[in-house]
Amino acid sequence: MLKQHTILETLDDPALVARLASRREVLRRAGRLGGAVALSSVPAALAMLARSAFAQGAGLPQQIKDVLNFALTLEYLENEFYQTGLASGGLIPAADRAVFQQIAKHEAAHVALLQGTLGQDAVPKPNFDFTAGGQFGDVFSNYATFQALSQGFEDTGVRAYKGQAGNLQSNGDILTVALRIHSVEARHASEVRRLRGQKGWITGNQTDVGVLAAVYAGEENTTQAGVSLPGGDAASEAFDEPLSKDQVLAIAGQFIRT
Amino acid sequence: MPSDDSRERRALEFLGRLAHPSSRRTFLKWSGVSLAVVAAACNDNGSGLTAPPGGTASVSLGSGDAGVLNYAYALEQLEAAFYTQVVDRPYAGIPQAELQLLTDVRDHEVIHRDFLKAALGAKAIGDLQVTFASVAFGDRTSVLTTARTFEDLGVSAYNGAGRLLTDPNNLLVAGKIVSVEARHAAAIRDLLEPKSAAFAGDDVVDAQGLDPARKPSEVLGAAKPFITTTIDASQLP
């Protein structure tokens, strides 16, 4: 999908882009129908088509479905991370448990919401490796490691949703839902950072976890919409920066096994 | 990197428009135009504003993206004025860490305010008159509960305003600000109820895990007790 977008964006002829886009959609639909017919009887295939016409995901443009599936993948990651952490005896101190239970509750709700919106177009949950190939081997036995990754995931989530808002502008309802998730992720990030003794906001591109440097790359920006802002650290803290899909996938990909 | 990103965004947006030529957005844009015309015709106050010391008696936010950004600018003026007072006369016995936190928040809100004014240029509304008569600045609970109200309100305002913006660059800037407001909200809430679920409590985040999104009329209604200036938001999209 990313590759197709890259090809499309290099084309300057709107008519050609339109032809390619509609051809891509026809091929995609034909592929789905073909698969259905091969796997089941014709009446069952018709029933499936009827369902798909009413599924919430069916009417959404591919661009929006791509963003929602990207978000769903991140929510799967966060959800499984917190479920595993809460189930790991002795990991989270009793005094901090209410915080992580609240975060976990929201991430589970986000997964359900995105799955419900995408319907049959929702991507399946990947298999995760929260040790990132052994970089964080004690993630579920050492609270400091767990907290550090939690902060990294939340701050990444904030940047990821922010980076996709522009891709949802054609659908105000979905854009609004994404913004409403985005600010909840920011609440989580602030709380986890402060639990760790950090400020709730991001100063420059600073991080106390060296391997998470990519999470904070670019956060030092102090020029907004062409306005150069005075205030040094405060000017970088006052604005959270977006990450592109590729930047997010490079971070999250370390934790995705398959 | 940013230019590739925005090129991709533009290309994808273009495709989205092709797929939905009579989109809701187009409709809203047109209905917004007619609403603005009606509002201008009915507005017998016009732009004859009086400017008493310390602020403007009445302002019109204007229309389009600039109107939405003026709406944000109005809220940032309110927040900046509030935290400036909080930091100028902190409540008795305030711990150093708490004063630092509130000073950071003050700095961020002042930067948001000044940024929006600069970005709006000639379209920026004047200085609002604000009042914090209901706030006991010497009392921690009074200050922090007011701060919580402002931060939660700000988050819901930006969340509701996103769909009103048409320029993706403006949407991005609003997104950069709203997550910092949400960070503030969580921190203030945690000061009131440390290490509890309150930072994103069930009183604000709903069962679907969503922060509220409020319309400008709701937000300005909630902010009205603190803003003396009459704000005309009737031309907003």
Q: Which residues contact A29 (CB under 8 A, 6 or more apart)?
A: none
pLDDT for the residue A30: 35
Higher pLDDT, B22 or B53: B53
Domains and CATH numbers, chain A: 1-54 (no CATH), 61-255 (1.20.1260)
Structural domains in chain B? 43-232 (1.20.1260)
Mean pLDDT value of segment B34-49: 30
Count CA atoms within 13 Å of residue B39 on its CB side. 17
- Across the interface, of A98, A173, A185, the residue whose CB is closest to B195 is A98
- Report residue A218 CA to chain centroid gap: 18
Asked if the Cβ–Cβ distance from B11 to A17 is below 8 Å, we say: yes
Closest to B232 measured CA to CA, from B75, B58, B48, B74: B58
Rounded to the nearest 5 degrees, what angle is found at the Cα of A178, between the Cα atoms of A111 and A211?
Answer: 70
B207, closest residue in chain A (CA to CA): A109
B159 to chain A: which residues are within 8 Å by CB?
A: 176, 179-180, 183
- Provide the number of CB pairs (under 8 Å) joining chain A to chain B: 233
User: Which are the contacts of B23, defined by CB distance < 8 A and separation ≥ 6?
Assistant: A170, B17
For residue B212, pLDDT beyond 70: yes
Q: Using the beta-carbon criterion (under 8 Å), do B211 and A187 form an inter-chain contact?
A: yes
Is the confidence at residue A11, as pLDDT, over 80?
no
Strand partners, B60: B232
Residue of A nearest to B5 (CA): A244
**pLDDT value for A41:** 35
What is the pTM assigned to this prediction?
A: 0.80
- CA of B118: which chain A residue's CA is closest? A227
B89 touches chain A (CB under 8 A): no
Report the percent of chain A where pLDDT is more than 70.
78
Per-residue pLDDT reduced to its tens digit, B217-236? 999 999 999 999 999 999 99
Mutation target for A interface from B111, B183, B206, B214: give the one with most A CBs within 10 A.
B183
Q: Across chain A, what does the average pLDDT equal?
A: 84
Say whether B209 and A113 touch across the interface (CB within 8 A). Answer: yes
In the predicted model, is pLDDT for residue A2 greater than 80?
no
- Bridge partners (DSSP) of residue B128 are B56
B42 has pLDDT over 80:
no
**Contact at 8 Å (CB) between B80 and B86?**
no
Is A253 an interface residue toward B (CB < 8 Å)?
no
